[in-house]
Chains A and B, each alone.
Chain A
Amino acid sequence: MLGGTFHAAVLFLVAAGLQLVFGVQRILNLACGSFYALGAYLGVSAVTWALGAGLPAPLFVVVLIAAGLALAAIGPPVERILRTIYDRDESFQLLLTFALVLMFEDVIRFVWGTAPHQLGSVYLVYGQLRIGGSTVPVYNLVVIAAGGSIALGMGWLLTRTRFGRIVRATAENREMSEALGVDMTRVYRRVFTLGVALGTVGGALVIPATAATSEMGIELIVEAFAVVVIGGLGSMRGAAAGALIVGLLKAGAIAVWPEVEMLAVYVVVIAVLVLRPAGLFARAAA
């Protein structure tokens, strides 16, 4: 169960980024997986360098988050590229993000090579706990807590801050918001950057437990899509619920019927799309 929650926490971060961008800009960003991968690779490089430069081990998580946040800098330029086709058909936007996926794949390969990159032993720096018969690294709990706090933080941001209100208003009714004087360009840029940051931080946070591999972005997209479909496009609560469902479903499949591990997620996605196409927390969707 806890294993499923760990995976869910990471999925939530990526899916939240997807949801945010879709909710406001109506763009389904296939490149979210690429941002995730970038966060992972840079996380490894940053922490390896920092530890080599004498950083005390328990502070590595700070470096990770910093690396993830630093990567948010690619948000504005990418958004600028996407901005050129905001007014076009959604299909084109999807295709443009697909183009980004291809490009990022090779950028990662160019910078970091093809071998997996990992952080050796920082995973266990915080020790382990025995919970209900199994040993769990405290870091997993840290990630789950981080995911949870970011979820709450996003919720607070969207409901209690001015920025959040603008974001929600824009999501509801773009024209009206613009008519009321909201600077669309700035909103879009900030929302997109926030979405990118969620993905890169997610990738960075997961890296101590796993390794950065070249396919991680492409593989994650399908799962992130599943989360978004199950939860409902554009809904932050949906991202959280969807991530939990997907994470627990996979863990359940592995525990009970390992053979169907590969198929389980797709079957559920299709089931949701068929039975309740708007997802669990529907918005007035397309």
Chain B
Amino acid sequence: MRTTRRQFLALSGAVSAAVALRLDGVPAFAQTGPIKIGVLAAKAGVLAPVGESGLRGVTWATDRINAAGGILGRKVELVVEEESSPKDTVERFRKLVLSDKVDVVSGGISTGVGLALGPVAEEMKAMWLAWDATTQKGVEETIPKPRYAFRSTDNECEAVMASILTAKNWKGKFRTVAGINPDYSYGRDNWAAFLAIMKKYGIEIQVVSELWPKLGATDFTAHVAALQQAKPDLIFSCFWAGDTPIFMKQAHAAGLTTGTRFVLTTGGGVHESLKKAFTPEGALLGYNSMYFEHPRASALMKEFVRWHQEKFKEWPNYESDHGYFTIAAYKAAVERAAKAAGGKWPTPDAVIPALEGVEVESLSGPRRFREDHIMEATFFQGYTTHKNRYDFATIDPVETMGTKQIQKPTGLGLYDWINSWKV
């Protein structure tokens, strides 16, 4: 039987109508019983420690909420799936929304996944609160006006902060610069931001080496040798994974840590592995949006840190705060929307405007979602010191900058924004 084009279209039209009818029959949202929150956490590969950290923040937030009676009296149930490749993660997202019928999905760290999930969340009309993965492309090019996708802070924030601090504190103290950054969008974007900001501040630098090891590389002997040859005054690196301590160890072993200034924008994420034995003092170290030992830490933060250390024998890093915030923000938004709806459980459409502009007390301090669905938080960086009771370096004093200073505002491109600064 040869189906003509017309017959095919007619058939498909009928099918679509039937399918649409079937989907309408599904209740849009439940109002009683536990509410389900889907979680996408990376479990394998270089992202795994970060995924685990985010999941811990989410779990702790959920446990606390449930201990206090849940959200509007409904207990929260987490449905955890794995974040892996973009293709597989999109499928898990669809499962969470279609099969598990979660109310909101929290998670997502890698840039590829972030780029894929945005449109999918919009298409499926499913709220998605990301932990990370916010690139220019992901935000501006893909969905300029998202409704369901809520993203984390820009990837460049820590580079911006580190660059500003370097410009202010080390101006005149360095001339030759080397960059060693992971060879992918995050590495490139941060390095480019650093160079642009140095230029903006009128700091004359000469780039003597630009190295691009693969993300998650484990051997830097050749890179260190190249750096030794180049003899930079300052080394800039946005390593955030296991590569950070390996690089520092091998750099130290080659004598690079004496006499060279280090800017490690995101190394604080693996702070416990930056042992005093090979991490020099006086290096600029960034902890993204959470520093575990902030002198002015809130009671909430202290409680979380204590719980984390007791349970995992590790000190937490920033991804826990990203995870915590998504749950806390969702709760706050639901409560806010419910109040407007006279106490009834709000529809998803009512929760979204409540999420926009919502501000909650997160682990490291107040955080909020901007109206354009980008997160606002505080970032912590500082100069390393060995004066502590651990075997790894910490920072003292702790500098803080809010996203109002280091994240581009709505509607402005990163470089346009940098160029508009008054310095």
Contact = CB atoms under 8 A, between A and B. Distances in A.
Direct A–B contact present (CB less than 8 angstroms):
yes
Interface of A: 1-4, 6-7, 105, 109, 114-116, 118, 120-121, 123-124, 128, 133-137, 139-140, 206, 209-211, 213-216, 219, 250-251, 254-255, 258-259, 261-262
B213 A118 contact: no
B373 to A, nearest CB: 30
Contacts of A2: 221, 225
B225 A116 contact: no
B183 interface: yes
A251 B226 CA distance: 9
B45 A3 contact: no
Contact of A135 (B218, B229, B255): B255
Contacts, number: 133
B255 A128 contact: yes
A70 B186 CA distance: 41
A21 to B, nearest CB: 24
A139 B249 CA distance: 13
Contact of B44 (A6, A105, A259): A105
B46 A213 contact: yes
Q: Which of B212, B219, B229, B314 has the most CB of A within 10 A?
A: B219
Contacts of A124: 252-253, 277-278
B245 A3 contact: no
A261 B212 contact: yes
A211 B273 contact: yes
A113 B278 CA distance: 24
Contacts of B218: 210-211, 213, 216, 219
8 contacts: A2-B225, A6-B221, A109-B44, A118-B273, A128-B254, A136-B253, A219-B216, A251-B221
B49 A134 contact: no
B229 A255 contact: yes
B214 interface: yes
Given A210-B246, A214-B45, A254 B223 contact: yes
B245 A211 contact: yes
Interface residues on chain B, size class: 35 or more
B242 interface: yes
A262 B183 contact: yes
B229 A209 contact: no
A113 to B, nearest CB: 8
Contact of B213 (A4, A128, A134, A261): A261
Contacts of A1: 225
A105 B45 CA distance: 10
A57 to B, nearest CB: 12
B318 to A, nearest CB: 15
Contacts of B213: 261
A213 B314 CA distance: 17
A3 B216 CA distance: 18
Chain A interface secondary structure, helix, strand, loop or mixed? helix
B278 A121 contact: yes
Contacts of A140: 221, 253
B48 interface: yes
B275 interface: yes
B94 interface: no
Contacts of B391: 120
Contacts of B241: 116, 213
A156 B69 CA distance: 72
Contact of A114 (B48, B209, B245, B275): B48
Interface string B115-146: 00000000000000000000000000000000
Interface of B: 43-46, 48-49, 51-52, 183, 209-214, 216, 218-219, 221-226, 228-229, 241-242, 245-246, 249-250, 252-255, 270, 273, 275, 277-278, 314, 391
A139 B278 CA distance: 15
B219 A7 contact: yes
B224 to A, nearest CB: 7
Contacts of A4: 221-222
A222 to B, nearest CB: 11
Given A105-B44, A120-B275, A3 B221 contact: yes
A140 B220 CA distance: 12
Given A209-B250, A255-B225, A114 B255 contact: no
A259 B183 CA distance: 9
A169 B262 CA distance: 56
Contact of B221 (A114, A128, A209): A209
A114 B249 contact: no
A258 B214 CA distance: 11
A106 to B, nearest CB: 8
A6 to B, nearest CB: 5
Contacts of A262: 183, 212, 214
A118 B246 contact: yes
A214 B249 contact: no
Contacts of B51: 114
Contact of B43 (A114, A121, A128, A211): A114
Contacts of B253: 123-124, 128, 135-137, 139-140, 209
A140 B254 CA distance: 11
Nearest to A208: B249
A3 B225 contact: yes
Contacts of A259: 212
